[in-house]
Amino acid sequence: MRTTTRTDVLDDAVIGAAAFLAGGANVIMQLSWPEVGYGVVESRVDSGNLFKRPMKRTRTTLSYLAVAALGSEADKAAFRRGVNKAHAQVRSTDASPVRYNAFDKDLQLWVAACIYKGFEDSYRLLVGVPDRALAEEFYRASATFGTTLQVPAEQWPSDLDAFEKYWRDGLKRVSIDDTVREHLTAIAELRFQPKPLSVLFGPFVRFVTIGFLPPEFREQMRFSWSSRQQRRFDRLMAVIGAVVRQSPRPVRQFPFNFYLWDVRMRIRTGRPIV
């Protein structure tokens, strides 16, 4: 595995386009708690709706990850203000099957935990398994995925052992019903893109998405997955990982480094960042 210093662990762990392949799986993990799932499905913020504004929603999501992982405290504060304006409108109604509020710190913690798991899984598959000390450093740095919004630093589980307990407990709340499952399946099949793109690339995206999903989430999504498919997935990750490990950092981090630059330009010119 390539040598990594402890001081730049999160910056070095950002794999960019390669980790982007795990994005669909990570969305499924995040929305697997009913409160988060319905918060997205029922959201009245049309500007953030993936199926109505796919380019904008994709930009906002990648910009958030870029700012949380690579940005300065000023970048994070600016992005927090922008997200808060949108999240203020994301609340359950009397007709909602579950109660939710986008400012709920427990829900934000679950989303942040899923993002960490996505980055960790991508790094492990594409770069290598880090030693315990490096894994702990990377884990502690990943608190930024929650603290960039409302999660207080002390709410982030203290170490990897504490996180594993939190994660096991969190899996008990995973429950995807037909409404949320249909929404997530459409994402996994790229149905938010124009039909030519979804027809051409949808099967591949679905395959990779299922490959990145832990078994508990595959079961909830009712996705089948064979040992043959697992072998194909492992071979694909081996090829992509070989390219990632040989790439210089700016190439490896694309497009996250681009979206961080875009956020800073938007701040500088007074344009919306969310």
pLDDT band with cut points at 50, 70 and 90 for residue 45: confident
State the pLDDT at residue 51: 80
Average the pLDDT over 67-80 and give the result: 92
State the pLDDT at residue 3: 39
Q: Which range is least confidently modeled, 25-39, 52-66, 183-197?
A: 52-66
Give percent of the chain with pLDDT exceeding 90: 63
Q: Is the dihedral of CA 193, 198, 200, 203 positive or negative?
A: positive
pLDDT band with cut points at 50, 70 and 90 for residue 26: very high
State the pLDDT at residue 28: 97
This prediction's pTM? 0.91
State the pLDDT at residue 154: 95
How many CA atoms are closer than 13 Å to the CA of 138, on its beta-carbon side? 25
pLDDT band with cut points at 50, 70 and 90 for residue 4: very low
Long-range CB contact pairs, 249-253, < 8 A, 24+: 249/12, 251/16, 252/14, 252/15, 252/16, 252/18, 253/14, 253/15, 253/16, 253/70
Write down the domain spans for the chain.
6-269
State the pLDDT at residue 130: 86
